[in-house]
């Protein structure tokens, strides 16, 4: 069953209509209970509960509207957990809120056992036995299941921080630059000489792959939101800009046009793309994949490859 959390600020009957819509939209999905979020007052809660009563949907919580529980956001979502100096206090406050305003016993009673699929999950194979992984505030968007699968397959992952001017470990046989916020740290990345020299040296003999923000860092330049252009690694010809923002979002199916850390030529990988970068130049690099969107519509060539360096805007989820 689904526990539905509704933002009911400024609503009463409308919130009930929305809840009814969720209940009826897909017969295969059972809404088990409802949490009212951003309640304005005791009277507001009473009105909403009265409006919900005819639905027969149990209301298992009512959370008051308060700025104290609001987490800061930026253009790709919430500010990440490791950037909060007061994270422990925030989590404690959220736990106190949950105990005070949610019927936790009722929520647990809604839960049901589920079974894992019979077919084993498919995982992207590790690109090497020892993988250098960029990991800091500029490069932090990497799927946890991807790293877990690599470790389960026997790979060792060695993190390094480009923002601390660290280079990939020379003992590694592959390098992975995840997504993140290089646009917020472009000046520091451009000035990180050891990182830049180490990446160029590494790419001469071993595969390097970048996803989204990592792809942009592998490119020739990145223009930040103020219009300032910063030189990137120059391992690919891609040039991107945040001065002219354009949101790109959606699931992707990629047929690989060349062998890469994502798989063999002709292989197909599913992924997800979400960014606000505008491509201002692609250089002369060949594309890495032919893309379709989540509905199977052709998007066309995407990504870049040059020597052993590859990059894509989509984050790989799993092979098809």
Tokens of residue 118, six digits: 């019979």
CA angle 201, 203, 207 (to 5 degrees): 145
Helix (H) or strand (E) holding 196: helix 193-203
Cα separation of 22 and 201, whole Å?
54
Backbone angles phi, psi at 204, to 5 degrees: -70, -25
Active site residue 212: yes
Q: Which of 76, 146, 212, 288 is catalytic?
A: 212
Tokens of residue 259, six digits: 């062998």
Q: Give long-range contacts, CB 8 A cutoff, 24+ apart: 45-48.
A: 47/12, 48/8, 48/11, 48/12, 48/15, 48/16
Half-sphere exposure of 215 (CA within 13 A, CB side): 28
Could you tell me if residue 300 is left (phi over 0), alpha (psi between -120 and 50 degrees) or otherwise beta? Answer: left
Tokens of residue 130, six digits: 């020892």
Could you tell me if residue 200 is left (phi over 0), alpha (psi between -120 and 50 degrees) or otherwise beta? Answer: alpha
User: Among residues 180, 185, 167, 248, which one has the least CA distance to residue 222?
Assistant: 185
* Neighbour tally for 169: CB within 10 Å: 17
Catalytic residues: 212
């Amino acid at each position: 069953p689904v526990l539905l959390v509704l933002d009911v600020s400024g609503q009463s009957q409308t919130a009930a209509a929305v809840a009814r819509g969720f209940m009826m939209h897909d017969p295969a999905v059972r809404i088990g209970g409802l949490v009212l979020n951003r309640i304005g007052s005791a009277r507001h809660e009473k009105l909403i509960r009265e409006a919900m009563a005819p639905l027969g949907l149990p209301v298992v919580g009512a959370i008051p509207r308060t700025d104290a529980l609001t987490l800061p956001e930026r253009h790709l979502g919430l500010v990440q957990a490791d950037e909060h100096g007061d994270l422990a206090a925030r989590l404690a406050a959220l736990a106190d809120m949950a105990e005070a305003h949610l019927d936790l016993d009722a929520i647990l009673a809604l839960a049901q056992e589920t079974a894992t699929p019979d077919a084993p999950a498919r995982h992207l194979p590790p690109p090497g036995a020892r993988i250098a992984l960029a990991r800091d505030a500029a490069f932090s968007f990497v799927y946890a299941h991807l790293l877990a699968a690599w470790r389960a397959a026997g790979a060792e992952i060695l993190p390094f921080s480009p923002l601390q001017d660290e280079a990939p470990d020379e003992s590694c046989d592959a390098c992975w630059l995840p997504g993140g916020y290089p646009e917020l740290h472009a000046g520091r990345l451009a000035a990180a000489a050891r990182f830049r020299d180490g990446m160029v040296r590494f790419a001469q003999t071993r595969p390097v792959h970048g996803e989204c923000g990592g792809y942009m860092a592998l490119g020739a330049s990145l223009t930040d939101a103020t219009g300032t252009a910063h030189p990137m690694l120059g391992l690919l010809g891609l040039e991107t800009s945040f001065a002219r923002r354009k949101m790109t979002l959606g699931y992707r199916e990629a047929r690989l046009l060349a062998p890469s850390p994502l798989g063999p030529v002709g292989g197909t990988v599913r992924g997800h793309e979400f960014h606000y970068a505008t491509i201002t130049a692609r250089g002369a690099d060949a594309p890495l994949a032919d893309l379709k969107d989540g509905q199977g519509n052709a998007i066309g060539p995407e990504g870049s490859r040059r020597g052993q360096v590859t990059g894509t805007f989509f984050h790989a989820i799993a092979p098809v």
